[in-house]
């Protein structure tokens, strides 16, 4: 596997020089400053590529070329936006950047309720608390029908939380779910968004009446347009699974399990229509057996995210060590090295350890925590390779 690292562009505090020192080979990045839906221009792509190559690295993967909301809900301007998307793909291919990761999650990209959850060893990690998320849904968004999505017991706990939650905790929850986790990945929100809850509700409203089947129709429409372009220019498209892989806030999620992935890969049956195998996202679905999925989809995978999670009996989940948890990364690496060797992989969602604290890194994208995880995963990779050569 190629050791890659998600780097947030020219303004990232973690420099390419630092990455060279810790054994990173390839860079995963995006044109972060280009608003969603606009064409990525050849000059900008080339400049970024040159910048990376001057440091002795390569631009291995685009993560992400974002799919605009309107393409997902099937808005009036979707054809124009898809045409722009195709042009961006063409420009990337012309520059020699040919692996493109994206997702098809409505409104929210990934979801956590806490970004600095303390662990007994003094480090901090990302955390999803079902009851806090339920509070956000029922009391902050006040979504119609929200209560139907929670059990009686969960509703009791949500109501109990409502009786004691402080204004600061409410503000933090809004900031965490809407701004901080989405801000750097989805382009829908930023620190300057004046009334994030109102904007969030507007976006949710755009999906009224869009159920799983309708969202699948829109996804297929997108794939039927985009994959022929990917074939023509040699682009490997790879969709990222939904994080977490279940329905949230009444929004359908359609990249959650074996059946979904099968459906996507068959919707347009081409090697250019592939998967980003995110062991972490898939592992938070108790319905998923991560190594079995790797075995099944390895040959249609173009990019791998190595991380792992622990799911608690109450439905909450947190990031696990890269050596433990439901991701079973040793097995996963073994499978990929056997069935599709050499794929770019990056570690994901490092903890905050030691000097990482108060550095204001994007959540999940610490330096030391990720470096530590990369060390662990590099060890697993070396062990797999040694085993294979015995
Ligand atoms: C979160 C990431 C996701 C991922 C996108 C890909 O940390 O794994 O935001 O980059 O879903 O489009």
For ligand 1, is residue 30 a contact (CB within 6 Å)? no
Domains and CATH numbers, the chain: 2-110+211-389 (3.20.20.150), 114-205 (no CATH)
Q: What is the mean pLDDT of residues 105-118?
A: 96
pLDDT in tens, 158-188: 999 999 999 999 999 999 999 999 888 877 8
- Is the pTM here over 0.95, yes or no? yes
For ligand 1, is residue 215 a contact (CB within 6 Å)? no
For ligand 1, is residue 319 a contact (CB within 6 Å)? no
pLDDT in tens, 28-87: 999 999 999 999 999 999 999 999 999 999 999 999 999 999 999 999 999 999 999 999
Q: What is the mean pLDDT of residues 130-142?
A: 97
Residues that are catalytic? 240, 278, 305, 348-349, 365
Residue whose structure tokens are 């063409």: 90
pLDDT band at 340 (very low <50, low <70, confident <90, very high): very high
Within 10 angstroms of residue 385's Cβ, the number of other Cβ atoms is: 14
How many contiguous H segments (helices) and E segments (strands) does the chain have?
Answer: 15, 12
The pLDDT mean for the chain works out to: 96
182 vs 368, higher pLDDT: 368
Q: What is the mean pLDDT of residues 343-356?
A: 97
CA distances from 371 to 3, 20, 99, 192, 331 (A): 11, 12, 23, 31, 21
For ligand 1, the distance from its centroid to the CA atom of residue 96, given in whole angstroms, is 22
303 vs 386, higher pLDDT: 303
For ligand 1, is residue 384 a contact (CB within 6 Å)? no
The residue nearest atom 11 of ligand 1, judged by CA position, is 103
Q: What is the mean pLDDT of residues 268-288?
A: 98
Q: Which of 100, 110, 282, 307 to mutate to test the pocket of ligand 1 (most atoms within 8 A of CB)?
A: 110
For ligand 1, the distance from its centroid to the CA atom of residue 169, given in whole angstroms, is 25
Residue 305 alpha carbon, nearest atom of ligand 1: 8
Look up residue 260 and give its two tokens.
């979904």
For ligand 1, the distance from its centroid to the CA atom of residue 242, given in whole angstroms, is 9
For ligand 1, is residue 7 a contact (CB within 6 Å)? no
pLDDT surpasses 80 at 390: no
- Give residue 55's pLDDT: 95
Give the dihedral of Cα atoms 251, 135, 131, 318; nearest 10 deg. 70
**CB-based contact 119:351 (threshold 8 Å):** yes
Give percent helix, percent strand, percent coil of the chain, each to the nearest 5. 45, 15, 35
């Amino acid at each position: 596997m190629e050791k890659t690292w998600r780097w947030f562009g020219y303004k990232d505090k973690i420099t390419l020089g630092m990455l060279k020192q810790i054994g990173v080979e390839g860079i995963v990045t995006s044109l972060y400053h280009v608003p969603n839906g606009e064409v990525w221009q050849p000059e900008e792509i080339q400049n970024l590529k040159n910048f990376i190559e001057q440091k002795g690295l390569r631009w291995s993967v685009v993560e992400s070329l974002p799919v605009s909301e309107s393409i997902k809900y099937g808005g009036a301007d979707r054809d124009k936006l898809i045409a722009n998307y195709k042009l961006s793909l063409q420009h990337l291919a012309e520059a020699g950047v040919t692996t493109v990761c994206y997702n098809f999650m409505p409104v929210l990209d990934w979801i956590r309720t806490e970004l600095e959850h303390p662990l007994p060893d003094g480090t901090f990690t990302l955390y999803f608390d079902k009851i806090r998320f339920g509070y956000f849904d029922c009391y902050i968004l006040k979504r119609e029908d929200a209560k139907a999505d929670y059990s009686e017991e969960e509703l009791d706990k949500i109501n109990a939380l409502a009786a004691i939650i402080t204004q600061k905790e409410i503000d933090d929850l809004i900031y965490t779910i809407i701004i901080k986790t989405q801000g750097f990945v989805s382009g829908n929100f930023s620190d300057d968004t004046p009334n994030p809850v109102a904007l969030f509700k507007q976006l949710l409203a755009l999906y009224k009446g869009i159920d799983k089947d309708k969202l699948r129709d829109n996804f297929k429409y997108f794939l039927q347009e985009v994959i022929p372009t990917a074939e023509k220019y040699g682009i490997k498209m790879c969709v990222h699974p939904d994080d977490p892989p279940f329905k949230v806030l009444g929004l359908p999620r359609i990249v959650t399990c074996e059946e979904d992935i099968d459906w996507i890969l068959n919707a347009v049956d081409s090697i250019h229509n592939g998967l980003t195998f995110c062991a972490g996202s898939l592992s938070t679905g108790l319905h998923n057996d991560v190594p079995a999925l790797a075995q099944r989809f390895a040959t249609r995978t173009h990019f791998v995210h190595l991380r792992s999670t622990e799911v608690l009996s109450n439905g909450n989940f947190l990031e696990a060590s890269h050596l433990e948890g439901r991701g079973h990364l040793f097995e996963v690496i073994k499978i990929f090295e056997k069935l599709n060797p050499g794929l770019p992989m990056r570690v994901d969602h490092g903890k905050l350890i030691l000097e990482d604290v108060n550095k204001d890194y994007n959540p999940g994208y610490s330096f030391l925590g990720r470096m530590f995880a990369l060390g662990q995963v590099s060890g697993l990779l070396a062990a797999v390779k040694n085993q294979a050569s015995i």
